[in-house]
Structure 1
């Protein structure tokens, strides 16, 4: 995928943007035509030519009516184009976030991604698309205005050109300051999103401890930081606008005086003075806007630069296609160490998990039990040793192929704010028979029968309207219905009472034709007796 930029989306939706450009052109013609008609009306009246004045007045009326139509049509066409581009941009950001593998996704937290998709997209709309279309209108209007000024006398073009060079030079001097300030505001939005999400997530804890004022304090602290960043941007932008507007006002006076001198020398009609006042104001005020707006548009690029581009690793795209597990999963001299640590979590680990066997991984906290599951799932890589699926090294197997065979279910499986059916199917098509069979395997059929709307029952985000055991059964069913033959379970009973935990474990251990490897802190003698093996990690 190409790097994200304004140009990419303008090209992608060129038809919609071409319609916007058409109405922008009409608006620029109406604006400059208005000034020309007014100047010619004045010239005709001074010359005593009433009929000519009325004719130009009629032209002026027609232009204004067309202008009113253009304003409405431009708004509609631009909004459609902007929303098409914004939808595509969010899709590309999501593709970049999710398309580079498990490790790349977890380099940022969810709050940063939310900020990208909300705050940053809004900033790009405001500082990128909105301003670009405004700049196009300004450029067209300036071109038409300069043409009309040349119509009155060529020397006006020379003066305008010199003053434009001065104005552009002034604007360029602020470019880097605006870029840096824009990037700082974008980062401040991320920090605010993180802070608010984090502190609100702890509401229950703060409520019970009588510390709810911390929510307001944390929000205010992050808000003040963002305000300071926005104020720095406003200072840079304000200095730019103040200086360029000062140059613009001086330039307008110079052109107006030149037009008056040309009239006094009988080189232009009296209407040229009116035209000079109108069009010099248009030209230099618009050039002021163009200079500042281009600097603001450049400030969008650091935002685009943050977004990753989807580039799946070679192991995700190609590799050996695997059949269902027939013999075993084998680890040979496997070692793992967390980044930036010298001491390995574990090393020289060699073990075998036979197909359709039921296994437990035990050991004290922090010993690497969850890490071992992640290694078996192929989402974490060992620093030494090898893992094999029926004798085939993991490195030779496509990541997608591993995930087609292996289910990794975390301690708190995620439940989406959707129906129970959608939480199991996740948009894939399954027959009712397949769904019912998967549900019956893990006892979810009983849950479905008890829910008010069965499979169509709406679940809350995180599954807050389900018990811990019910959430676990939903997660198991969504994997079994897809034919996953290897279940890697991280503390599946951690949030359950003893009776519910044993009931769920009995269900899991009783699954036929499925390899089960589960992490547990509390392995009862009853469960241990039903297992084919126990791997105990120790320092």
Structure 2
């Protein structure tokens, strides 16, 4: 039943997420059809579980009743034989009721535990990183280094990166260019510590990644992608993530990321509620909010993964210019369309053809 409920939620989430696509194809009927089909599948399994639960409960209660009757008959026989006093019948009934009621409760609990076992199996299957002997890193000072890195998602396939080296120096700006699937995002995921099954050496300020706690590395990086997430909360809480920053600090970051005009234009200012998925903010504004979150947390490394691909050209260029011209930020920008003006402002452009030797 637990797996049936999981399939139901996955299928409903899938069709709701794809509503815009179905609507544009004039296939809204599929929304209903797939939801009904998923509901019927779940109902079939739930009914089967309920039937099994009813039968099992009936059997358990029936056996319990028979056992109590047997004890009553045995006690009555012993009274008839003058082996025990007649008051033993009452004591026997109470004893049997207590024992078999407890056994019934245990069997019911066992059934309930079995029904949720798949949930705990999923928890057990979640990989846990071994952080024994690792230490947290502090603020970024010198460089991130990739030295002779070779990586493949499948050991039997051609490596995405092979003997690739890169030094990301503090305060410098880098652009990774190339077609989709060429390994640009892989570089970012290696640098942020999401991918660990690589050959070669990764260093943060001369400290090997193998000696660093993953969370402390992530705490140094702001990651911008095409779909920045907005919480259905106030603009201030979306910026601060409910952390206690001073008004002066918040105002300084707002100005730094270019949100001053937006805040000033809102009747409630920072107290304005952000709608679900940030529907009342533009794509560029959401990118600036995410960047502001990182700056408030003291993160001075920025990775952008095609973050402006869905923005209009003017907004995209404004966001990119803001990031690459900030002297305090260390930036690695992934893009398949590097604008000439931005190319002139970065310190190095790395083509994906450099990832694997010719």
User: Shorter-chain-normalised TM-score: which range?
Assistant: 0.7 to 0.9
How many Å separate the matches in 2 of 1:264 and 1:333?
92
Quote the RMSD (CA, aligned, Å).
3.1
After TM superposition, give the deviation of residue 226 of structure 1 in Å: 2.5
Shift of 1:363: 0.2
**What is the distance in 2 between the residues matched to 1:421 and 1:278?**
66
2: distance between equivalents of 1:356 and 1:403? 18
Correspondence for 1:434 among 249, 257, 282 = 249
Q: Retained in 1: the 8 A contact 2:64–2:104?
A: no
The 1:309–1:453 alpha-carbon spacing in structure 2 relative to 1, beyond 3 Å, is farther
* Cα distance in structure 1, aligned partners of 2:259 and 2:134: 36
**Residue deviations 1:82-125 (CA, integer Å, cap 9, x gap):** xxxxxxxxxxxxxxxxxxxxxxxxxxxxxxxxxxxxxxxxxxxx
1:208 Cα shift? Answer: 2.1
Task: Give the one of 44, 69, 94 matched to 1:228.
Answer: 44
SS of residue paired to 1:299: helix
| Contact in 1 for aligned 2:137/2:213 (Cα 8 Å) | yes
Normalised TM-score (structure 1): 0.58
- Which structure has more relative contact order (CA 8 Å, sep 6+)? It is 2
TM-score, normalised to structure 2, is: 0.85
In 2, Cα distance between equivalents of 1:312 and 1:509: 36
Matched, 1:351 2:157: no
Residues 404-460 of structure 1: CA distance to partner in whole angstroms, max 9, x if unpaired?
A: 332222221211111111111112221111111111111012221122311111112
Aligned ranges for residues 104-253 of structure 1 at < 5 Å?
185-251=1-67, 253=69
Q: Structure 1 residues 208 and 288, CA, compared in 2 at 3 Å: closer, same or farther?
A: same
TM-aligned CA deviation for residue 318 of structure 1: 2.8
Indicate the residue corresponding to 1:15 in structure 2: none
CA–CA distance in structure 1, aligned partners of residues 105 and 233 of structure 2 = 47
1:292 aligns with one of 89, 102, 107: 107
Task: Give 1 or 2: higher strand fraction.
Answer: 2
Q: Could you say which residue in structure 2 is the equivalent of 1:495?
A: 310
Q: Which residue of 2 aligns with 1:324?
A: 140
Q: Shift of the alpha carbon at 1:259?
A: 6.5
Q: Does 1:370 align with 2:216?
A: no
Distance 1:437 1:382 in 2: 40
Deviation track 1:236-277 (CA, whole Å, cap 9, x = no partner) reads 3333333334434444555555666677778766x988x599
Aligned residues: 352
- Tell me which of 129, 151, 155 is aligned to 1:313: 129
Match of 1:384 among 191, 199, 222: 199
Aligned to 1:138: none
1:530 is matched with which residue?
345
Q: Which has the larger radius of gyration?
A: 1
Partner of 2:293: 478
Q: Which has the higher helix share?
A: 1
Structure 2 counterpart SS, 1:519: strand
